[in-house]
Amino acid sequence: MYSFQILEGLIQEEYPLIGCESPLQERLRLLVHITQFCQNTNRKCYLWNLGEEAIKELTIKDSKLAIRGFAEYTPKPRYNKEDYFHVLSFWKEYQESGVLIIENIYPWIKENSPKETDFFLVSEWIKSSLINIKLYNQNTGKIALILGATADISSDIAAEILIWKQDLPDVSEIINSLTQAGVLPPEYTKIDVLTVANAGMGLYISDILNLLKEVRKTTDFINSEEVAIALLKQKIQLLNRLYDIEFLPPPKVQLGGLELMQESFKKFKRLLTPGAKQYNLRVPKGIMLVGPPGTGKSHSAKACSQNMGIPLIMVDWGNFRSFGNQAEIKLERLLKVADKLSQIILYFDDFDKGFAGDDDLAKRLAGKLLTWMQERTSDVLVIASVNRMEWLPPELTRAGRFDYLFKVDLPNNGERYTIFKLHAARFDERFRNGGDPWSEEEWRRILKATNRCVGAEIQTIVERAASTIFCSTVKEDIYSEEKLPPLKLTIEALLEERRQINPLALREADTVESMRNKADQQALPSSPLDSSRFAVGNIDIFG
């Protein structure tokens, strides 16, 4: 059922007091829809907000919203602050039926509102007025809709107000809205319209229509695939801006090692298939990646997105809390977006940092996330990266919360060999297509020198060595169009750069070992035992 249809049912049943949560960008669409419904059911529709200061009557004329004055309401002279809200007393006493939409009063009736004397007195007056409206307007045909972007209501009156929240539209609602708005060419087939609608999933209708206007500036709308791709790009930019996230289509990444974890990712992909649904099988509720910084946890999440072929939403959990009191609302809306997108990975980076202070906001956010993970029915896969497991509340790591815990450890010799080759291939063509210009003995020198280095540190070593070689071999005044000589990495350059850095696992040995030990106690290994030719067991100590 469409979200608006649920609201229509509540109006039809004449609930006297209804709290409505709808995003600001949907305000005009909602007002038009309510007014049209009232007109169709022979009800008067009115609007009041602090900006208008007066009640306005709403009608639909030529399919557009028409606003006109309402002579029966006279604002009260403002001798006291509660006089600003005289409309509440008026609606309680008004003798005619109808629907009154009231805006701008949620700040006075929300939970944990300011306790200053003047604000508190006005807040209590408004709450009492709303309770009286419900009491006096039973079975009178008078309905008050309290409209705002967030229906945050104080617990002392929450039971008195029925709440309706505007959900994100599903694909059928998007198709219906696009068809009614006439924004797509009439020659589009049902498949064409579905293609565009799928690209807009996770957005409200108003956002989709506005983004399609932007798309029209650069796209001719002849090919629905091109329109969908352009709309998807616009959607990604909007979501990134709204939620301070990074939305990534399935990336193309290479991961050195961690074979056991990658095999699990491939298994999870099969759980997205229709066949798995017939057996009531679903992707795990959550996966936790545990290990020291720089070991490749974020890179592993991208590899999971690649292996499963579904998009990735990256959220810095610590920074997410910077929204303050809005963090819970942002999280709730982000989870709704993820639910609508369904087959997607929601990755929370540095998950443990959000709980370092053990404050009330951290607990509320964790509770909201856990409740959603427990109750969700979509195919969203939650992945969280953690450095310090001891910072997490115990309820987060118990069975049934995060189904899989993987230890992402310091890379072994074989994995460091693979990581070196992946990064070296970016600069030295000799390493591409499986090439390897160095002897086993040369590799052993590098691997021994980089023992306890993580992937991020190996990347830094290779990049700095490539920069040093470039600066020493290519003349400064060379023209860009000239063919440059191939850049060749050397063992000596890599070893020199290694000498200039102090790996975290050596610099903070006690801390890193504590992280590894705690991960060992609860998490599964991400890598099998090193069976490469560089494994410790394959070294001839008498050679």
List, in order, residues 6 or more apart from 284 with CB less than 8 Å away: 268, 381, 402, 403, 404
The better pLDDT of the pair 322, 190 is held by: 190
Q: Report the mean per-residue pLDDT for the chain.
A: 90
Q: 304: exposed, middle or buried (C-beta count within 10 Å: 0-12, 13-18, 19+)?
A: buried
Alpha helices in 137-189 (DSSP H): 171-181
The better pLDDT of the pair 213, 322 is held by: 213
- Ramachandran assignment for 384, one of left (phi > 0), alpha (psi -120 to 50 degrees), beta (any other): beta
Based on the fold, state whether residues 41 and 156 are members of the same structural domain: yes
Asked whether residue 176 is domain-assigned, the answer is yes
What CATH number corresponds to the domain at position 47?
3.40.50
Based on the fold, state whether residues 25 and 131 are members of the same structural domain: yes
The model's pLDDT over 271-307, given as tens digits with 9 standing for 90+, comes to 998 899 899 998 888 999 999 998 989 989 998 898 8
How big, in percent rounded to 5, are the helix, strand and coil portions of the chain? 50, 15, 35
List, in order, residues 6 or more apart from 166 with CB less than 8 Å away: 3, 4, 7, 20, 21, 22, 23, 26, 30, 204
What CATH number corresponds to the domain at position 305?
3.40.50.300
User: How many domains in the chain?
Assistant: 4
| Sign of the four-CA dihedral 301, 302, 306, 309 | positive
Among candidate residues 381, 407, 433, the one where a domain is terminated:
407
Q: If you average pLDDT over residues 207-214, what whole number do you get?
A: 95
Q: Check pLDDT > 60 for residue 542.
A: no
| Sign of the four-CA dihedral 282, 379, 294, 447 | positive
> CA 419, CA 428: separation in Å to the nearest integer?
14
Based on the fold, state whether residues 281 and 298 are members of the same structural domain: yes
> CA 188, CA 414: separation in Å to the nearest integer?
54
How many CB atoms lie under 10 A from the CB of residue 173?
Answer: 18
Based on the fold, state whether residues 175 and 318 are members of the same structural domain: no
For residue 435 the two structure tokens come to: 């090439």
Confidence (pLDDT) at 40: 95
Asked whether residue 540 is domain-assigned, the answer is no
Based on the fold, state whether residues 312 and 431 are members of the same structural domain: no
Based on the fold, state whether residues 366 and 439 are members of the same structural domain: no
Confidence (pLDDT) at 358: 61
Q: Check pLDDT > 80 for residue 107.
A: yes
- Reduced to 3 states (helix: H, G, I; strand: E, B; else coil), residue 57 is strand
Confidence (pLDDT) at 541: 40
Asked whether residue 462 is domain-assigned, the answer is yes
The model's pLDDT over 368-413, given as tens digits with 9 standing for 90+, comes to 888 898 888 889 999 999 998 888 887 777 766 788 999 999 999 9
Confidence (pLDDT) at 360: 80
> CA 15, CA 9: separation in Å to the nearest integer?
10
H helices then E strands: how many in the chain? 22, 14
Q: Check pLDDT > 90 for residue 354.
A: no
- Ramachandran assignment for 291, one of left (phi > 0), alpha (psi -120 to 50 degrees), beta (any other): left
Based on the fold, state whether residues 376 and 431 are members of the same structural domain: no
Task: Identify which of 363, 247, 358, 355 has the alpha carbon closest to the alpha carbon of residue 310.
Answer: 247
Confidence (pLDDT) at 540: 46
- Reduced to 3 states (helix: H, G, I; strand: E, B; else coil), residue 391 is helix
Among candidate residues 117, 146, 165, the one where a domain is terminated:
165
Based on the fold, state whether residues 230 and 290 are members of the same structural domain: no
Distances (CA, A) of 512 to 189, 291, 524: 58, 8, 18
Based on the fold, state whether residues 23 and 149 are members of the same structural domain: yes
List, in order, residues 6 or more apart from 176 with CB less than 8 Å away: none
> CA 323, CA 331: separation in Å to the nearest integer?
10
Based on the fold, state whether residues 29 and 76 are members of the same structural domain: yes
- Name the β-bridge partners of 144: 17, 100
Among candidate residues 133, 165, 197, the one where a domain is terminated:
165
The confidence band for 537, taking pLDDT boundaries of 50, 70 and 90, is low
Asked whether residue 516 is domain-assigned, the answer is no
Q: If you average pLDDT over residues 202-223, what whole number do you get?
A: 94
Largest CA distance in the chain: 102
Sheet containing 162-165: order of strands:
64-69, 56-61, 45-48, 98-103, 142-148, 17-21, 162-165
Q: Which of 157-166, 255-264, 334-343, 440-449 has the lowest mean pLDDT?
A: 255-264
Residue 59: which H helix or E strand, with range? strand 56-61
Domain membership of residue 383 as a residue range: 259-407
Q: Check pLDDT > 60 for residue 543.
A: no
Asked whether residue 541 is domain-assigned, the answer is no
> CA 143, CA 9: separation in Å to the nearest integer?
13
> CA 60, CA 68: separation in Å to the nearest integer?
11
Asked whether residue 519 is domain-assigned, the answer is no
Q: What is the pTM of this model?
A: 0.83
Based on the fold, state whether residues 402 and 268 are members of the same structural domain: yes
What CATH number corresponds to the domain at position 457?
1.10.8
Asked whether residue 251 is domain-assigned, the answer is no
Distances (CA, A) of 219 to 175, 178, 360: 20, 17, 48
Confidence (pLDDT) at 49: 92
Geometric angle at alpha carbon 443, from 441 and 444, rounded to 5°: 65
Based on the fold, state whether residues 72 and 184 are members of the same structural domain: no
> CA 421, CA 260: separation in Å to the nearest integer?
20
| Sign of the four-CA dihedral 351, 355, 361, 363 | positive
The model's pLDDT over 231-268, given as tens digits with 9 standing for 90+, comes to 999 999 999 998 888 998 888 877 777 888 888 888 99
Asked whether residue 543 is domain-assigned, the answer is no
